[in-house]
Amino acid sequence: MKVSVIGATGYAGAELLRILSNHPEVEVAAITSESHTGTSIADLFPHLAGFYDKKLTSMNDLNQFADSQAVFIGLPHGHAMAIGRPLAEQGIKVIDLGADYRFRNESIYEAWYKVEHTHRNSGAVYGLTELYRQQIKAASIVGNAGCYTTASILALAPLAKAHLIDTKNIVVDAKSGVSGAGRGLSLNVHMAEMSENLKAYNVGGHRHTPEIEQALAEISGQESLISFTPHLIPMSRGILSTCYATLQEGIKPEDVDQAFYEMYGQEFFVRLLGRGGYPAVKNTRGSNFCDLGWHIDSRTNRVIVVSAIDNLVKGAAGQAVQNLNVMFGFDEGSGLKQVALYP
C-alpha cells in the first residue's frame, strides 16, 4: 500500500522514513516540506541516500495524496488540522504525530496549546497502541501519543487500571534527549548550553500534562492529577521517566507485580524488567521498545516506576507505524522489530 509523509524534514519525519524503508507492506508515495520544497530528501538527510531519491513537494497539492491509503502528518501543533480535514474527507486515513488530535475534549487542547481547534468532532482515536488497540483498528484519524506521555502512561496505566494507587497524587519526573525539542534553532539546545548540563523546563505547565491525565482518568474511571516536571539532558535521543504514586491501603508488592504482568505480559514492545529493575535509555535506542521496572518504597508507601523509551521511535515515528499496522491489519511489528543500537 502507498503512504505519504507530510512534514518529512523534522526529526520525527526523517525517523519515520527510516522505519518505513524496512516495512514490507508499504511504499512511500509523496513526502512534503514547505521549507525545502524541490530539494531531494537525500541531500537533506544523507543517511537516507540509496533508499529514497524523492524530491520534497508542497502539501498544498492534495492530488499527490490520492493514491495513498494513509498519510502521516509531522507538523507543529495547530497545523495538522488544516490538512487533516480534507484528507479525511477523501477517505484517506490520517496519523498525526503532533498534538492536534490527541484530546477527547478539544477545549482542553485549546486551553493548553492556545490554538483554536478547527476540526472538532473528528472522531480521532488516541494513538497509544497498547491501551487503545481496539479503537485504533477502526479509526480514520489517530492522534499519536506524545513522547513523554508514552513513557509515563505506560508506566502508570497498570496501577491506575487495577486501582492500586491514588490517581490524584502522582509525580512524574522525566528526562529527554534534545531531539525532543525539534530541529529548529534555539539557544537552549546549543552544544555550549547543553553539554555537561541538565535542566528542568516548563515546570507545572508542560503541555503533555493533560494528555497523561486524560489517559489515566479513562483507564481508571477516576479523576487524575499529576505534577509533571520535564528535563533536557545532553544526549540526542531517549526518555527516562520516573513516576511516583502513593499506594492504596493494604496493597502488597505482589499486587503491583500482578498488575504489570496482567497488562503487558503478552505485549511485544513493552519489556518488563520486574520489581527492582532499572531501565536504561541506551537499551531502547533506535528501537520501538518501552522498558519498565518498578520499586516499592515501604517507608513512604509509594510505588516508583521507571520507564525508558527512544523518544523518536516509540515516542513518535515507531508508534505511528505501530498504529498504521493495527489500522490496516498488518503484523503489529512490521518494520519495527529492530534490536536497539548498543553501545
Q: At what angle do helices 129-137 and 147-161 cross, to 10 degrees?
A: 90
To the query of whether residue 243 is one of the catalytic residues in this protein, the response is no
Catalytic residue among 147, 155, 159, 217: 147
Which three cell numbers mark 270?
A: 513493552
At a CB cut-off of 8 Å and minimum separation 6, what does 99 contact?
77, 109, 113, 143, 146, 207, 211
| Among the listed residues 122, 158, 117, 147, the one whose alpha carbon sits nearest the alpha carbon of residue 207 | 147
**CA 276 → CA 154, 256, 292, distances in Å?**
17, 12, 10
15 vs 81: CA distance, rounded Å:
22
Q: Which residues touch 108 (CB under 8 Å, ≥6 apart)?
A: 210, 214
Backbone angles phi, psi at 21, to 5 degrees: -65, -20
89 contacts: CB under 8 Å, gap ≥ 6: none
Please, what is the Cα angle at 283 between 237 and 252, to 5 degrees? Answer: 110
* Residues taking part in catalysis: 147
